[in-house]
Chain A
Amino acid sequence: MPKWAMVIDLDKCTGCDACAVACKMENNVPIADPAEAQSGRAMFWMDMMTTTEGAFPNTVTKRVPKPCFHCDDPPCTLVCPVGATYRNPEGLVAQIYHRCIGCRYCMAACPFTAKVYNWYDPKWIDGAEVGNPDVSRRMVGVVEKCSFCSHRLMSVKETAHREDRPIMDGEYVPACAESCPAEAIVFGDIENEESRVYRLSRSYRVMRYGEDLGVKPKVYYLSRRTET
């Protein structure tokens, strides 16, 4: 059984936001109107964490792309009263929207604020109503989050099964990894010792957020800087 994981190389990342845009388009993530976004209700599955340090003009801006970390020991699944979020055998932390009752316990439990809530029915800009038919539209009152583009896994699995072979490294990639112009995002099976993700996750540059929490995130960051 593969275990899907992601490596984000911050030394390569230019903070261009292509991953965040690709993710929004791929997963039909609603675009909040400016007033809602101001009140902290902007919805991102791939969120660009931005911090600015120093005083003008000597400022340093740091940008770190943050998807759901698909923890191996996820705290969000423990608190869900209805089993709408769970960790599947392949290590994906799933969110089943039609089971979700919108209590937002999981959002409170997630140390990385990876989950977002649908405060109102999504409004689509003209021409974007159709969206990606491979991903369902979420309705008001449910929590959603990055799925590692699990709908892509469905079709990859089908093809591999039909051709009677295992899934090859790099065959299943989420939209963010696919769109990254700097190729900073690498995705694959971390239990396959020949995969790029396996190799990169053993780099001396590797770090994970929330290492002290014991939740075992499956998104690894690479950076030469000691603190990110």
Chain B
Amino acid sequence: MKRNKLKRYILIYLASAVFLTVFIGPFLWLVSSSFQMENQLFKVPPVWFPNPVSTESYREIFMGAIYDESYVSVYGKSSSYQARIYLRSFLNSLIIALSVSFFSVLFGAYAAYPIARMDFKGKYFLLFSILVVRLVPALALAIPIVLFAKKMGMNDRLITLIFINMSFVLPYVIWLLQAYFKTIPSELEDAGRIDGCSRFQVLNKIILPLSLPGLVTTGILAFLLSWGEFLFALLITETEKSFTSTVVAAMFATMVGDINYVTIIAAGVLAVIPPVLFALFFQKYIMSGLLSGAVKN
């Protein structure tokens, strides 16, 4: 029996090691590459651990943003356009993702409450249509939205992207929040109602404060969902005023010619930091959120 147990553990850890290598290895290689000198990157066989650790790639991005075109990196190449605008695009992405999560949780909470707590005609139709929204291919919506945005002078603006991203995030948020509201005992609400609170007051003064953990979790998920959005960012943005980090990262990746590979890689690593940190810190909440969102439908 003991030998069997040992055999089982060996098998489990062997399998774990294989899966870890496959799923984390590529990511670690990206991080490791970003700290290497360009000439190390091109070595065969590859240098697995940067030695010495070089922060040149990150310096190009940060200094390039500050000094503009005058910054020349150690390779003698002046910093590329992409490197100079990258930090700004990163900031744009942050503004978009934070606004999307704030407003979609705010709007989503008010929409979720009646679904969770009240009976009304058309409730299931409402719930169903909210779910169907998630199935519509973004490309089908992109054509009319881009035409509208151009006609109304709304292209190349962050606010347009915030608004569009909410359409992907809201169905998710509403679904998660109505499930969360159902877990709050209705006695608390009844007590408030007897004291003469209106539905609006009950929601603001009782339900929302009690749902804070659920609101935060949903907000984080909303952030993760909108942070990596690419298609609409590509179509709506035109200048560095509104480029998002995914757009600039794609510009890096599809660029040809004389480029600093390390800078491209560093840009990729930077773009991954916010979502990966969120995912690792809040993994328990995210997992339960993702599961309740998907399993129930």
Whether chain B is bound by chain A comes out as no
Q: Which residues of chain B have a CB within 8 Å of any CB of chain A?
A: none
Q: Which residues of chain A have a CB within 8 Å of any CB of chain B?
A: none
